[in-house]
Structure 1
Amino acid sequence: MSVIDLLEMPNQGVLLGLDPGSKTLGVAASDSLQLTAHPVETLQRGKKLGPTLEALFKLFDDRKAIGMIIGLPLNMDGSQGPRVQSARALARHILEKRDIPIAFQDERMTSQIAERAMLEADLSRARRAELVDKSAAAIILQTAIDTIANHS
Structure 2
Amino acid sequence: MATYLGFDFGTLHVGVAVGESITGGARALATIGPREWERLDALIAEWSPTALVVGLPLDEDGSEQAITARARRYARAIAQRSRLPVYTCDERYSSLAANSALAARDGPRPAGNDAEAARIILEQWLSQADTTATQTPPTR
Structure 1 residue 16 displacement after superposition: 0.4
Q: TM-score, normalised by structure 1?
A: 0.79
Identity of aligned residues (%): 31
Is 1:93 aligned to residue 82 of structure 2? no
DSSP-derived class of the 1:33 partner: coil
Greater displacement, 88-97 / 30-39: 30-39
Q: TM-score, normalised by structure 2?
A: 0.85
Structure 1 residue 53 displacement after superposition: 2.0
Structure 2: stretches of 5+ with no match in the other structure: 133-140
Structure 1 residue 150 displacement after superposition: 7.7
The one-letter code sitting in structure 2 at the alignment partner of 1:121 is R
Structure 1 residue 61 displacement after superposition: 1.4
Q: Which has the larger radius of gyration?
A: 1
* Structure number with higher relative contact order (C-alpha < 8 Å, ≥ 6 residues apart): 1
> Quick one: which of 53, 56, 71 aligns to 2:37?
53
Is 1:33 aligned to residue 14 of structure 2? no
2:129 equivalent in structure 1: 148
CA distance in 2, matches of 1:149, 1:37: 17
2:136 equivalent in structure 1: none
**Count of residues in correspondence between the two structures:** 132
> Quick one: which of 47, 55, 68 aligns to 1:63?
47
Q: Deviations over 1:25-56 (max 9, x none)?
A: 000001363521110001134xxx2xx12211
Q: Deviations over 1:39-83 (max 9, x none)?
A: 0001134xxx2xx12211211110111110000001111111111
1:5 equivalent in structure 2: none
Q: Tell me: CA distance 1:82–1:57, structure 2 relative to 1, closer, same or farther (3 Å).
A: same
Segments ≥4 residues shifted beyond 3 Å: none
Q: Tell me: CA distance 1:31–1:95, structure 2 relative to 1, closer, same or farther (3 Å).
A: closer
> Quick one: which of 15, 18, 21 aligns to 2:10?
21
